[in-house]
Amino acid sequence: MPTQIDKLKVLAAGVFSLILMLGVARFAYTPLLPIMQEQAGVGDAIGGWLATFNYMGYMCGALIAASVGDLQLKDRLYRLGLIVAVITTAGMAVTENVIIWSIMRFFAGLSSAAGLLIGSGLILHWLIRNNFRSELGIHFSGIGLGIALCAIVVELMAIQLDWRELWWLFTSIGCLLAIPAWRWLPKPDSSGMTISGTELVDRPPSKRFLYLMLSAYFCAGYGFVISATFIVAIVERQEALQGLGPAVFLVLGLSAAPACIIWDLIARKVGVLTALLIAYVIQIFGIILPALSDAPFAAILSAMLFGGTFIGIVSLVLTMAGRFYPTKPAKLMGKMTLTYGVAQIIAPAITGNLAERLGNYDIGLWIAALMVLIGAIFSAVLVVTERKAL
C-alpha cells in the first residue's frame, strides 16, 4: 500500500518534470527573447514564428497523447520527453540559424506535451488507482515554479552571460531536474483496477458538454499564449518600464505556483465549472492591463492576475478531463489541448506581425482579451446548463 511519502515523491516527480519540460524547455524562451533580440538580431516577426513552431510541436504532442492508450507506451514517451527537453534547450545555444532554432522549438513543444499531458495523465492515473484525491494542484505548481526559475536565472545571470551561455546554463539545470523526474515516477499499472480492487470506469461527457468546453478552452489558449510569450517583450517595449521585464515574468511565475492549489480549493467550494468561469473573467483584466497603462503597478498586477488564472484554467480543465476517463486520462487531456494548441499556433504569429507593423502589442492584447471574453461566455453556458455533468 503506497504511503503519503510515496504520494509526495510521485507529485514531486511531476513538479520537476514540469519545471523542466514546461519551464526550461518552453518558457525560458520568454525572458530570453528580448536578450536574443538585442544580441542575436531576432526581430518581432521571427520571435513570433519561433513561438509558433513551439506550439506546433506542442499540438503534435497533444495529438500523440490523444491517440495513445497504452500506459506502458505513455511511460516511455514521458521519459523520452525528459531527454528531448534537455537536448532542445542545448540546441538553442549552438547556432544562429533560424531553421535549426525552429526545429529545436518544435521538438521542445513535443517535450512540453509529454510533461503536461502524458506525465499529468500518468500521475492522475497513479493517484486514482491508489485511492488518493484526484487533484493535480500540487503537480501543476511545477509550471509556475518553472516560470519563476527561468525569470530568476535570467535576472541574476544576464549581466554576466550572453544569450548562448544562458541557454547552456538552462541545459545544465535541465539535466539536474531530469533525475528526480525520471526516478520518482513509478512504472504504471495497466490492470484497470484500484489498489483496493475497485474497477476504474470511464464516464464520458455529453457531446454538447465537450463541444462547449473545447470552444472555451480554445479561447483560453489564445489568451494564454499572448501574455506567456510576449509579456517580457511588451514590458521592455514601454519606455517607462524598461528593465522591469524579468521581474514581471518572475511575478507571473510566483503567482502561478500556488494558484493550482488555490483553484482546487475554490472548485471544491463552488464547483469546477463556476471556478473556471471566475478564472476566465479575472484573466481578461490581467491580459488587458498593459494596453491600458504603462505604470509599473499595472504591469505587476497584470502578471499577478494572469499568472494566477492561466494555470488554474489548465489545471481545472485537464484534471476534469482525466476524471472523465480514469483508465486513460491523457486521451481526453490530449483532445482538450489540441484546441488549446491550435490557438497557440495562430496567436503568436498574428501578434508578432502586428507588433512589427504597429510598433506595439496593444492590438494583440485587445484581441486576446476578446477571445477570453468569448471563452467566459461559453463557460457561463456550461455553468447554467451542464452543472450535473460533473
Report the topology of domain 4-186+201-389. Growth Hormone; Chain: A; (1.20.1250)
Alpha-carbon span 151 to 161, nearest angstrom: 14
Burial of 61 (C-beta count, 10 Å sphere; 0-12/13-18/19+): buried
Phi, psi at 199, each rounded to 5°: -75, 135
Residues 383 and 220: beta-carbon distance below 8 Å:
no
State the residue for C-alpha cell 504511503: 3
pLDDT band for 111, please (50, 70, 90 cuts): very high
- pLDDT above 80: residue 385: yes
* pLDDT score recorded for residue 81: 96
Find out whether 69 and 331 touch, Cβ atoms under 8 Å. Answer: yes
**What's the pLDDT score for residue 390?**
55
Q: Which residue has the higher pLDDT, 203 or 35?
A: 35
% of the chain surpassing 70 pLDDT: 95
Residues 48-68 have pLDDT tens digits of 889 889 888 988 888 888 888
pLDDT-derived band at 184, boundaries 50, 70, 90: very high
Q: Report residue 192's pLDDT band, with 50, 70 and 90 as the boundaries.
A: low
pLDDT over 60 at 389, yes or no: no
Structure confidence at residue 226 (pLDDT) = 76
Between CA 106 and CA 215 the distance in angstroms is 25
- Contact between residue 287 and residue 368 where contact means Cβ atoms under 8 Å apart: yes
The mean pLDDT value of the chain amounts to 86
Cα–Cα distance, 368 to 355 (Å, whole number): 14
For the chain, the C-alpha Rg in angstroms (whole number) is 20
Can you list the alpha helix ranges (DSSP code H) found in 185-295?
207-237, 245-256, 259-270, 272-292
- pLDDT of 280 reads 96
CA distance 12 to 209: 33
pLDDT at 21: 96
Once rounded to an integer, what is the mean pLDDT over residues 35-56? 86
Residue 358 has pLDDT above 90, yes or no: no
pLDDT of residue 244: 77
Backbone angles phi, psi at 351, to 5 degrees: -70, -40
Least confident window among 18-32, 82-96, 238-252, 359-373? 238-252
Residue 85: what pLDDT? 97
Of how many residues is the chain composed? Answer: 390
Reported as a pLDDT band with limits 50, 70 and 90, residue 132 is: confident
Domain ranges (residues) in the chain: 4-186+201-389
